[in-house]
């Protein structure tokens, strides 16, 4: 090295170790050396003398001398080359110092990591595997069923299949949701049962809220650690509830009473106007519906006042005019012909009714009066006649229509009412006119009315008020002809039943309650007509089954009638006319349809009765209580099947009827 002093020979680390004689000529075997120290410092491995490396000496001489003049004659050991992990070009190599620490070399392998760093990835993988198993295993066990911990109004359906959950809800929850609602109507308590409101548990919609299928991680966690509360889905049949409210209204309504003057014999009598109250039907439907959806309980239904249009002063004024109206006869004249209407006839057909403006005006039924006196003014041969059919020797015979001459009843009513309202001469000149028949011959001629298509009979107990209404309907409908392609409406044909038309008050079930209405019992006549239509093969357009099943009617084939809301409509879908003939006795009514038969036979195929519900028993001490016989509820299907030439040619869609249980009411009033 340049400018360096003499270097002492290094001490031999093995000089103090005696060597065996046989090994004098050999160098000691060194198994391990410090880093950076080459084995060459101990001489050649084969025992030969090492040659000094060419180059300047330590003292600057040309070659070979000992650095310190040692008699050992040994040369300096060659400089060790740094170890290279890969080949390096000669020009890039630089000699390393002979002594001092060896330079650091890059290692072809990374140093071994600490133990904690080696364990951490394994622990993470293990945790992830355990977490996956903790989710997958319960998820697989829960899949295909309602999520565990799911409850509906306290009923646990978790872990069940959808079918099992539905069955459990029907059996356990339906009863909980059937709590009645007690309606307070002006201080009167009325209990409304769930079936009267058409309340049903929608099982499908309720279960549809519950998680099912293959659950996600959050659902599995919720199932393992908590519960899922679901509200029950409840539906209310608004049409059923409306009918129930209508029944309530019929029993609590007190319509405003208009002032009126009428006659009892020849005596004029006055009815004073009076305020009334009416159940607010729309509000009642809303409140009762909300009460059921809230779990039952009490609800107050509103009554709204009803005010009459007439005044007491108007009634007194009309009473004076009524007495004058029957003070003398009223004479009708037609040329030389004269007919006198006696006071009794006037009184029987005259009333004073509200005119809508607070007063009362006379109302004279001239058409009814003419039915008994027109023959004195017009010859019978001149009077018009409607076309109709009469059954002669078991066959329908056409009776042709005839135009005629008759008194104009509308003009007669107008002129007579003027006399009764204003006074003056008591003679009225009537006028004749050409009167066309209401039914022309061409309207019912050639319609193929030749044979009985169908007939049906229902029975009833004798001597009840409702029997009078059934018989009156039969009288009014007898001989009516339904033309091909037209739709028949029972309410439109007969109109509203009134006392003036011969109807009386009788019991009728309205909205699940027996009430007295004018025309009560009409549902039986409608049912009789409907069955004749059904077995005649005609098209059903509109009908509403009864709320309760009565054994005297065929199950699934009854009809509720209430003017104007509930009607019976059917269409004559044949190419022939249909003649309606009616007959009745003291205990039965029959409807026969004449026309042309299209089918050999029509049958009603009934299903088995199912879904039976028991009826309740109640007692009532209320005035006007009407007892009823308890009937259990059930569901039935009826299918109309048409037969022709020995085979089925048509089959209607099945008709499903769900009857409610009819409460047995026992009246305890004296």
Distance, CA of 506 to CA of 463 (rounded, Å):
12
Token reading at 202? 């929608």
Contact 439, 388 (CB under 8 A): yes
Contact 347, 265 (CB under 8 A): yes
Distance, CA of 331 to CA of 427 (rounded, Å):
5
Contact 300, 184 (CB under 8 A): yes
CB-count exposure of residue 307 (10 Å: 0-12, 13-18, 19+): exposed
Contact 545, 568 (CB under 8 A): no
Provide the 3-class DSSP secondary structure of residue 563: coil
Distance, CA of 655 to CA of 652 (rounded, Å):
8
Distance, CA of 147 to CA of 165 (rounded, Å):
11
CA end-to-end span of the chain, whole Å?
Answer: 146
Token reading at 486? 């037209």
Kindly report the CA angle at 537 between 531 and 540, in degrees rounded to 5?
65
281-293 vs 238-252: helix crossing angle, rounded to 10:
120
Tokens 């509308």 -> residue:
410
Distance, CA of 625 to CA of 187 (rounded, Å):
18
- Considering the domain delimited by 311-443, tell me its CATH architecture: Roll (3.10)
Contact 464, 535 (CB under 8 A): no
Distance, CA of 191 to CA of 196 (rounded, Å):
10
Distance, CA of 459 to CA of 528 (rounded, Å):
10
Tell me the backbone φ, ψ of residue 578, rounded to 5 degrees. Answer: -125, 120
Domain with CATH 3.10.20.800 in the chain: 116-308
Tell me the backbone φ, ψ of residue 608, rounded to 5 degrees. Answer: -70, 145
DSSP secondary structure letter of residue 125: H
Strand partners, 454: 593
Tokens 């030969």 -> residue:
48
Smallest Cα–Cα separation from 437: which of 379, 386, 367, 374?
A: 386
CB-count exposure of residue 263 (10 Å: 0-12, 13-18, 19+): buried
pLDDT at 427: 94
Distance, CA of 33 to CA of 70 (rounded, Å):
26
DSSP secondary structure letter of residue 63: S
Residues of the chain with pLDDT below 50 are: 1-4, 6-7, 9-11, 13-17, 20-27, 47-75, 86, 88-94, 96, 98-99
Contact 586, 463 (CB under 8 A): yes
pLDDT at 296: 81
pLDDT at 107: 53
Distance, CA of 555 to CA of 560 (rounded, Å):
13
Token reading at 378? 């017009």
User: For domain 116-308, is the CATH number 3.10.20.800?
Assistant: yes
pLDDT in tens, 439-479: 889 888 899 999 999 999 999 999 899 999 999 999 999 99
pLDDT in tens, 97-140: 544 555 555 555 555 556 666 677 777 777 777 666 555 655 55
Distance, CA of 629 to CA of 20 (rounded, Å):
135
Distance, CA of 39 to CA of 31 (rounded, Å):
10
Distance, CA of 131 to CA of 143 (rounded, Å):
18
pLDDT at 265: 86
């Amino acid at each position: 090295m340049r400018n360096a002093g003499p270097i002492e020979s290094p001490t031999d680390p093995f000089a103090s170790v005696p060597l065996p004689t046989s090994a004098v000529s050999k160098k000691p075997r060194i198994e391990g050396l410090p880093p950076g120290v080459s084995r060459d410092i101990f001489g050649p491995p084969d025992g030969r003398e090492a040659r000094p490396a060419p180059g300047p000496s330590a003292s600057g001489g040309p070659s070979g001398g000992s650095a310190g003049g040692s008699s050992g004659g040994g040369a300096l050991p060659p400089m060790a080359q740094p170890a290279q992990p890969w080949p390096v070009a000669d020009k890039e190599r630089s000699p390393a110092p002979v002594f001092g620490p060896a330079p650091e070399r890059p290692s072809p392998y990374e140093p071994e990591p600490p133990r904690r760093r080696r364990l951490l990835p394994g622990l993470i993988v293990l945790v992830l595997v355990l977490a996956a198993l903790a989710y997958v295993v319960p998820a697989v066990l829960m899949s295909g069923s309602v999520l565990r911990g799911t409850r509906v109004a306290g009923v646990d359906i978790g872990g069940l299949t959808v079918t099992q959950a539905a069955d459990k809800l029907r059996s356990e929850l339906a009863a909980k949701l059937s709590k009645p609602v007690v309606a307070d109507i002006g201080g009167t308590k009325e209990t409304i049962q769930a079936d009267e409101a058409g309340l049903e548990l929608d099982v499908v919609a309720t279960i549809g809220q519950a998680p099912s299928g293959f659950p996600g991680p959050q659902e599995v966690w919720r199932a393992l650690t908590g519960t899922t509360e679901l509200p029950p889905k409840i539906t209310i049949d608004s049409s059923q509830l409306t009918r129930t409210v209508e029944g309530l209204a019929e029993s609590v309504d007190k319509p405003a009473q208009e002032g009126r003057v009428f006659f009892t014999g020849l005596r004029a009598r006055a009815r004073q106007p009076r305020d009334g109250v009416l159940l607010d039907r729309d509000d009642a439907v809303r409140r009762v519906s909300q009460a059921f959806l809230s779990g039952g309980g009490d609800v107050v239904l509103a009554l709204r006042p009803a005010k009459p249009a007439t005044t007491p002063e108007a009634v007194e004024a009309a009473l004076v005019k009524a007495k004058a109206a029957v003070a003398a006869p009223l004479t009708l004249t037609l040329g030389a012909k004269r007919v006198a209407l006696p006071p009794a006839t006037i009184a029987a057909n005259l009333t004073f009714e509200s005119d809508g403006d607070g007063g009362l005006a006379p109302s004279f039924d001239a058409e009814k009066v003419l039915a008994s006196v027109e023959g004195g003014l017009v010859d019978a041969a001149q009077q018009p006649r409607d076309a109709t059919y009469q059954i002669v020797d078991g066959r329908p015979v056409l009776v042709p229509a005839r135009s005629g001459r008759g008194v104009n009843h509308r003009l007669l009513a107008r002129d007579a009412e003027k006399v009764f309202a204003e006074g003056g001469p008591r003679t009225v000149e009537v006028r004749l006119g050409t009167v066309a028949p209401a039914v022309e011959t061409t309207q019912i001629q050639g319609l193929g009315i030749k044979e009985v298509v169908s007939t049906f009979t229902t029975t009833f107990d004798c001597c009840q008020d409702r029997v009078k209404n059934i018989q009156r309907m039969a009288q009014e409908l007898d001989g009516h002809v339904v033309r091909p392609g037209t739709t028949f409406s029972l309410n439109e044909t007969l109109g509203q039943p009134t006392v003036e038309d011969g109807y009386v008050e009788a019991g009728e079930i309205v909205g699940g309650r027996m009430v007295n209405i004018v025309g009560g019992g009409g549902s039986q006549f409608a049912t009789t007509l409907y069955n004749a239509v059904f077995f005649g093969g005609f098209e059903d357009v509109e009908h509403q089954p009864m709320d309760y099943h009565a054994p005297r009617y065929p199950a699934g084939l009854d009809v509720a009638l209430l003017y104007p809301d509930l009607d019976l409509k059917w269409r004559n879908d044949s190419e022939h006319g249909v003649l309606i003939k009616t007959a009745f006795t003291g205990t039965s009514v029959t409807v026969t349809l004449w026309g042309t038969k299209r089918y050999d036979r029509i049958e009603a195929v009934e299903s088995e009765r199912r879904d039976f519900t028991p009826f309740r028993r109640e007692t009532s001490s209320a005035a006007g209580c009407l007892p009823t016989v308890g009937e259990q509820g059930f569901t039935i299907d009826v299918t109309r099947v048409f037969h022709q030439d020995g085979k089925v040619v048509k089959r209607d869609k099945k008709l499903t009827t769900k009857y409610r249980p009819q409460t047995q009411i026992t009246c305890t009033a004296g």
